[in-house]
Amino acid sequence: MFESDAAAQRTVAAVMAHYNRVARGLARNRPVCEPLFDEDTRTGEVLWEGWVSGFEEAMRLRPDSWMATVESGDAEVENALPLLLTLHAIQSGKSEMPKDSIDRLTEQAPDLIPTIVLTLNGWVKAQRGATGAANLPGAPARRAKVGRNDPCPCGSGRKFKKCCGQETVH
């Protein structure tokens, strides 16, 4: 739970702002995916495990939708999801792979994850009826300009300049 309504609004605003950045990246003609990974401040090591864990949790919300990728007939797409689940098994300590294979995938994971996401997103975009900003075939249509002090169109309840407009407002 949140300590106050304001704290809840700040959290929702941060989540929506990040969602909108990701959606804009994936909606480009040449999609871009830059997952947010934690980093060990002592070693500089990229900590991808939390990202994979969160993605796997989200997949459990709609397992039937994800099974369609495994049965897609597209070899690249059919391999993407099992690779992501292999990374989750490594992250959760449940992988039965040899240690050298685990070490190799652990090292490659930060580079593999964006490729997996772009592969899956590309397949979803190619399907009829794909919805959601991240699944549009091109960039979303522009709306009338939002003023700095107008409510943010993402629905967070915050002013645009304090939400999604933070990237562009200086």
Strand partners, 47: 38
Classify the C-alpha dihedral 64-120-102-43 as positive or negative.
Answer: negative
Instruction: Give the Cβ contact number of residue 93 at 10 Å.
Output: 7
CB distance 161 to 169 below 8 Å? yes
pLDDT the model gives residue 142: 53
Report d(CA 54, CA 131) in Å as an integer. 21
Close Cβ partners of 110 (under 8 Å, ≥ 6 residues apart)? 37, 46, 48
Q: Quick one: which of 121, 34, 130, 49 has its CA closest to 91?
A: 49
A 10 A CB-CB count for 14 gives: 13
Start-to-end Cα distance in the chain: 32
pLDDT of residue 169: 40
pLDDT at residue number 67: 83
Res 113: pLDDT: 95
Q: Taking the model in full, what pTM does it have?
A: 0.68
- Can you tell me the distance from the alpha carbon of 60 to that of 68, in angstroms, rounded to the nearest whole number? 14
* Residue 27 CB coordination number (10 Å): 20
Tokens matching residue 142: 């522009």
What does residue 47 show for φ and ψ, rounded to 5 degrees? -100, 90
Element (H, E) at 38: strand 38-39
Q: What is the pLDDT of residue 18?
A: 81
| C-alpha of 156 from chain center | 19
Across the 170 residues of the chain, what is the mean pLDDT of every consecutive 10-residue run?
87 84 81 87 93 92 84 88 93 95 96 92 76 55 69 74 63
Q: What is the pLDDT of residue 131?
A: 59
